[in-house]
Amino acid sequence: QAAKAAVNYTPTKADYQKVYNRIAEIMDDAGEYDDGSYGPVLLRLAWHASGTYDKATNTGGSNYATMRFDPEALHAANAGLAVARGLMDQVKREFPWISYGDLWTLGGVAAVQEMGGPKIPWRPGRIDGYARDATPDGRLPDAAQGAGHVKEIFARMGFTDQEAVALCGAHALGRCHRDRSGYDGPWTFSPTTFTNDYYTLLFDESWVWKKWGGPKQLEDKKTRSLMMLPTDYVLTQDTHFKKHAKAYAADSALFFRDFSAAFARLLELGVPFAAAEPWEMRSLDEQK
Ligand code: HEM
């Protein structure tokens, strides 16, 4: 491999496409794991690596990939992400020239695109940092809190309410795990397909507090098989959030467009890029 052998070789878009492809293959090779895909947990890794960004101090974010180090790896918000980091380590062994921050964010891009979501413009440029670059605990949102907390956390990263609402639509994918966050269950009936179902379900179903020994979460009254976190439910309660959540429930194309823009921006927070324009990586399907 040219990229591996030559010291001064700068990897090209084609090299990163190879990494993307390997991630996409591993994602699908999940056997009995969860709903048969590692996509959701890889997306959560990309988000937690990026969502530590603090605009005021320009610290945190996906540059440096500090979740590799304790204590950040052990922060409660990151419980369960060792699964995703382990999968990414397999890819890193095959393509050792890629930085961890580029690898993890490219994983998020592959997850969204391969599960049927919008194209996410992406470019490399993150470098590996040190444990001393790690961010303090408490920068990621706490699911037990209300609208004020959600606004505050996303505003700290530099996001508007509209962007915060669009980003939360990622909960169409994946599920909560008792042994990770303490919460339990999926948000939608198709947790491995990127849709705007998160918003339609928020408004179309009746949500009631689940009676159980676990943390406060809601369940749909009809099937009792879906869940919402307190922070998901506030999108229907806060008037500013509600306006955007309603718009995304009514218009899937609008959600796809706004999610793509906000997620691409999330992945680049705090990353000092060279001038290069972002790329559109091709899905496995497009390369058939
Ligand atoms: C899962 C909280 C925003 C993507 C989860 C879980 C919690 C949570 C508690 C369950 C973890 C587990 O038990 O495995 C929150 C809160 C948010 C937020 C409080 C904001 C208020 C986001 C955003 C994204 C995202 C912005 C991506 C853009 C995901 C995904 C999963 C997940 C894909 C499923 C992971 C899996 O299936 O393993 N989130 N989240 N979340 N979150 Fe979020």
The yes/no answer to whether this complex scores an ipTM above 0.90 is yes
Query: Is residue 140's pLDDT more than 70?
Result: yes
CA–CA distance, 200 with 245 (Å, rounded to integer)? 9
Q: Is the peptide bond before 118 cis (omega within 30 degrees of 0)?
A: no
Q: Categorize the per-residue pLDDT at 172 as very low, low, confident or very high, splitting at 50, 70 and 90.
A: very high
* Strand bridging mode 185-186 / 207-209: unpaired
Q: How far is the CA of 77 from the centre of ligand 1 (A)?
A: 9
What is the C-alpha separation between 30 and 27, in angstroms, rounded? 6
CA distance 176 to 173: 10
pLDDT of 107 higher than 50: yes
Is the beta carbon of 164 within 6 A of some atom in ligand 1?
no
C-beta of residue 256 within 8 angstroms of C-beta of residue 102: no
Q: Which of the four pLDDT bands, split at 50, 70 and 90, describes residue 126?
A: very high
CA angle 165, 260, 148 (to 5 degrees): 20
Cα atoms in the Cβ-side hemisphere of radius 13 Å centred on 96: 7
Atom of ligand 1 nearest to the CA of 35: 37
The protein residue with its alpha carbon nearest to ligand 1, atom 43, reads 171
Whether 169 shows a pLDDT value over 90: the answer reads: yes
Q: With bands split at pLDDT 50, 70 and 90, how would you rate the model's confidence at 120?
A: very high
Residue 93: the pLDDT is 97
pTM of this prediction? Answer: 0.97
Q: State the maximum Cα–Cα separation within the chain, in Å, rounded to a whole number.
A: 60
Q: Please say if 187 is a catalytic residue.
A: yes
| Residue 278: alpha-carbon gap to chain centroid | 18
Q: Ligand 1 within 6 A of 42 CB? A: no
Residue 44 near ligand 1, beta carbon < 6 Å: yes
Confidence grade of residue 273 (pLDDT, cut at 50, 70, 90): confident
47 is catalytic: no
64: which 2 tokens? 């440096």
Reported as a single tens digit per residue, the pLDDT across 72-81 is 999 999 999 9
**pLDDT exceeds cutoff 50 at 1:** no
* Structure-block tokens of residue 10: 């700068």
Q: What is the pLDDT of residues 230-268, one digit of tens each?
A: 999 999 999 999 999 999 999 999 999 999 999 999 999
| Mean pLDDT, all residues of the chain | 96
Is the pLDDT assigned to residue 5 strictly greater than 90? no
Going by C-alpha positions, the residue among 5, 33, 272 that lies closest to residue 175 is 33
Q: Which of 76, 177, 195, 246 is nearest to 186 (CA)?
A: 177
Catalytic residue among 47, 104, 122, 187: 187
115/100 Cα distance (integer angstroms): 22
